Structure 1
Amino acid sequence: MTELDDEDARYLRARLGAVAVPAGRLSADGLLALGRRTGRRRRTAATTAGALLPVAAIVLVTGGFLPWDGNAGPGPAGTSTASPATPSPATPTSAPVTADCTLERLPMPSGAKTGSVLAGSPNGRHLVGSYNPPEAANLPAWWVDGRLQEIPVEADAIARDVNDSGMVVGDGSGPDGKSAPWAYLDGKLIWLPIPPGFTDGSVNAVNARGDVVGTLGGDPDRAVVWRDITTSPRADLLSASKDRTHADGISDSGVVVGGLSDRNLPYRWDADGRGAPLPLPDGVDLGSVRGVRGNWAYGTAAKSNGVPALGSGPPMPVLWDLEKGTATIVGDAMSMPGAGNARGQLVLQPRDDDGVLLRDPDGTLRKLPGEEGWRYGARALDDSGTRIGGGGGARPVRWICRE
């Protein structure tokens, strides 16, 4: 058994819920019972942060792909094939070294059963996520310099992201009981508007300006940017033909990354709303973006073998250089990226390993310390590469590192 945070568990359930199942595989009813539709993969439907799933499940989550034929898949790890003429991040040539980091457990309220870190601010001061009190499935968690702060959300809710100014964004049960997005700044909770024609909404990220991205539930689901949060909040829809879309990250320059839900393809929108697919490395035809910081986006890619949403190739960690328009495989199969920063660093969760790796732009790998017997994951990385947030043993943790 291994620990997996609730956001990833929801993503797995949502991916499974969207699959069109070929004959001879699991029944559609059985898959649908596990989750929701792909485009609404980050709702507050999950009940427990730090849920336990089999070790094999961790490879299904971040990229959203199901089990594969072990003989299929892309080329060697570290190969960049999107643009051969463009230099790509280096590939590690040696085993990971031990990172000079200190592991700290983050505080939780009295009585909380489990907790997790889901994101952090670029300056590393803020970490957000959720914890599980006895009276609710989830409540939002917010740590400032390691100290727990209160967010006055009374219903089931989760904090998804935070910026350097301390604006926390999340979603949960709104006043009408449906999934609703919110922002919290300067002691004020703001419910974000749901436009006519949509039933509910979820959020995934916030940038330095306070622009918030997420997904609106409707027919079809649509990626959205909420702007002017503190004055007159409005929802600007992002289009991509008739596809169901979702937005997963937004840079400080206003570039939004997300995906086409039905086709499992990574996508980006410029600050003016113009959209285009993100490139994929050769040998893969499915992709999923987790987030963006500066000119770097990160996620996974896999080979579908012609069956959408049913991956036959192992999901591979991918780093997109948005300025150069390249996509680079930056690790071994099933090394899941948890977070990235503006320097192009990543935190990776390797297969068959209880630890977390910090990957530098030159390909150097450093293993973060952990307590024996616990499996760790990281979901927050500051722009200095010295402050990292995550979880282990169903407990929220942070690492303080030296460069």
Structure 2
Amino acid sequence: MSENPFAILTGEPVPDSRLDERAVIARGRVRVRRRRGLTAVAAGLALAVVAGAVALAEPRPGPKPAPVGPSPACVPEQLPQLGPTVSATIDPSGRYIAATPDSLDGTVLLAGPGGVRTLTAVPRLVVSGVNGGGTVVGNVENDADEDGYVIDGGTAVELGRPPGALNAGAHAVGENGDVVGDVRMPDNTFRAVVWRHGRWDQPQVLAAPAGGQSSAFGVAADGRIVGSVGKSPQPYLWQPDGTGAPLPTPEGRPGGIASDIAGDWAAGPVDYAANATTLPNGRPAARPPLTWARWNLRTGEVRALAGGPRTVASGGLLADGTVVLQDVRTATLWTEAGATELPVPAGFTRWLVTGASAGGVLVGPASDDRGWTATYRWACR
């Protein structure tokens, strides 16, 4: 068998693409959906949901990051058998890719060493995570927020809510099968929760200072969880035993969220104190340009990243500390050597990174003049 479990995808015929135009809502390691009548990115207005916190993006001209030192060896590879998708995600090991077809017909495509399987989910479910065992999580938008589901063993189950909670969102799934996310309460506040593997109707609320608002967005292989606490969000780290502590923000950049975690690294947008507002459902929102921070969880160091004026979302975090930043057209890799903008695949006008493995494989949909018509895999290491 080939060392590349997705090699079987590249020789397949491309399915017919759909020609309708719909708005794109991107969740940086999380949600992209389409609406008839308007492609929001092309029209100059992107609504980027950054791991549960919304960035109201007004794209405008700005300098592109210049390559510093050797450019990453990112080779684009189209995945024809996945066809047009609105979102794709990949597990940290790179073993599985889970994708939502652009039909939003209630199926999820799961690609791995055994080929591509079609899983039965629920209509309009958009994937937000997958682990190395093939467990998939995703969400269905509703009028107020979203409802989270897990697909485990081929069966889709709606995640349970604590008493009184109105909605539950699934943001990530750990290697042990635990799912992290948040629930919306009647007073439009959120509580970070974890669903232990197989106990999908028994959410555990994570402890937060004074029992206040909190959200969980990422989970590491060792069980550490990142997210935010407070209605004016502050980045936060929970240990596997449930204890937690705030993460520092760069000087002069107070507030923000930790949206991604890989190994001893975490990353997320900061400077929310200056740019934040609150949506009607209680979620915090910020208007770009956004400043990203990267935390070294081993040493406690925090660094502000130069994401550029067009940065609207996170594309993921690699195990070596490389941060993937998404703008309205393509992605940028931030490394210690500098920032490098990745070229858009030939024949396309933009692509979204909606998933990244710890080892440097990026996945997501690409768009041409007909809409979002292809899914790509990039090997960046």
Q: TM-score range by the shorter chain?
A: 0.7 to 0.9
Report percent identity of matched pairs. Answer: 21
How far does residue 291 in structure 1 lie from its aligned partner after superposition?
A: 1.8
The one-letter amino acid of 2:86's match is: S
The correspondence for 1:155, drawn from 123, 139, 145, is: 123
1:283 paired with 2:252, answer yes
How big is the alpha-carbon RMSD for the aligned residues of Structure 1 and Structure 2?
A: 3.8
Aligned to 2:78: 104
How far does residue 7 in structure 1 lie from its aligned partner after superposition?
A: 4.2
1:358 paired with 2:333, answer yes
SS at match of 1:107: helix
Aligned to 1:35: none
Pairing of 1:228-377 with structure 2 (within 5 A): 229-230=197-198, 234-240=202-208, 241-260=210-229, 262-302=231-271, 304-305=273-274, 314-334=289-309, 335=311, 336-350=313-327, 354-363=329-338, 365=340, 367-377=342-352
> For the structure 1 residues 359 and 395, does the alpha-carbon distance in structure 2 shift closer, same or farther, using more than 3 Å as the test?
farther
Name stretches of at least 5 consecutive residues in structure 1 with no aligned partner: 12-41, 71-90
> For the structure 1 residues 213 and 5, does the alpha-carbon distance in structure 2 shift closer, same or farther, using more than 3 Å as the test?
farther
Aligned to 2:97: 127
* CA displacement 1:108-132 (0-9 Å, x = unmatched): 46xxxx5233421012122224223
CA distance in 2, matches of 1:377, 1:121: 17
1:142 paired with 2:120, answer no
> For the structure 1 residues 224 and 368, does the alpha-carbon distance in structure 2 shift closer, same or farther, using more than 3 Å as the test?
same
CA distance in 2, matches of 1:7, 1:146: 29
1:189 paired with 2:147, answer no
Q: Are the aligned partners of 2:67 and 2:341 in contact in 1 as well (CA < 8 Å)?
A: no
TM-score, length of structure 2 as denominator length: 0.74
Aligned to 1:381: 356
How far does residue 164 in structure 1 lie from its aligned partner after superposition?
A: 0.8
> For the structure 1 residues 99 and 206, does the alpha-carbon distance in structure 2 shift closer, same or farther, using more than 3 Å as the test?
same
Aligned to 1:79: none
CA distance in 1, matches of 2:243, 2:162: 21
How far does residue 381 in structure 1 lie from its aligned partner after superposition?
A: 2.0
CA distance in 1, matches of 2:263, 2:168: 26
CA distance in 2, matches of 1:231, 1:152: 20
SS at match of 1:230: coil
Q: Are the aligned partners of 1:105 and 1:395 in contact in 2 as well (CA < 8 Å)?
A: no
Name stretches of at least 5 consecutive residues in structure 2 with no aligned partner: 1-20, 279-284
Q: Are the aligned partners of 2:69 and 2:337 in contact in 1 as well (CA < 8 Å)?
A: no
Aligned to 1:23: none
CA distance in 1, matches of 2:25, 2:264: 28
Q: Structure 1 runs of 4+ off > 6 angstroms?
A: none
The correspondence for 1:204, drawn from 165, 171, 180, is: 171
SS at match of 2:139: strand
SS at match of 2:258: strand
The one-letter amino acid of 1:370's match is: P
How far does residue 173 in structure 1 lie from its aligned partner after superposition?
A: 8.0
Q: Are the aligned partners of 2:130 and 2:136 in contact in 1 as well (CA < 8 Å)?
A: yes
TM-score, length of structure 1 as denominator length: 0.70
Aligned to 2:138: 170
CA distance in 2, matches of 1:305, 1:367: 29
> For the structure 1 residues 282 and 67, does the alpha-carbon distance in structure 2 shift closer, same or farther, using more than 3 Å as the test?
farther
> For the structure 1 residues 5 and 317, does the alpha-carbon distance in structure 2 shift closer, same or farther, using more than 3 Å as the test?
farther
SS at match of 2:248: coil
SS at match of 1:328: strand
SS at match of 1:252: coil
Q: Are the aligned partners of 1:99 and 1:369 in contact in 2 as well (CA < 8 Å)?
A: no
Q: Are the aligned partners of 2:56 and 2:288 in contact in 1 as well (CA < 8 Å)?
A: no
How far does residue 277 in structure 1 lie from its aligned partner after superposition?
A: 1.8
* CA displacement 1:287-336 (0-9 Å, x = unmatched): 13322111211211226448755758731122121222222122233434
> For the structure 1 residues 396 and 361, does the alpha-carbon distance in structure 2 shift closer, same or farther, using more than 3 Å as the test?
farther
Q: Are the aligned partners of 1:119 and 1:161 in contact in 2 as well (CA < 8 Å)?
A: yes
The correspondence for 2:183, drawn from 213, 216, 224, is: 216
CA distance in 2, matches of 1:322, 1:316: 19
CA distance in 1, matches of 2:27, 2:57: 16
CA distance in 2, matches of 1:105, 1:118: 11
> For the structure 1 residues 173 and 151, does the alpha-carbon distance in structure 2 shift closer, same or farther, using more than 3 Å as the test?
farther
SS at match of 1:225: strand
The one-letter amino acid of 2:112's match is: V
The one-letter amino acid of 2:85's match is: G
> For the structure 1 residues 147 and 357, does the alpha-carbon distance in structure 2 shift closer, same or farther, using more than 3 Å as the test?
farther
The one-letter amino acid of 1:244's match is: Q
The one-letter amino acid of 2:318's match is: N
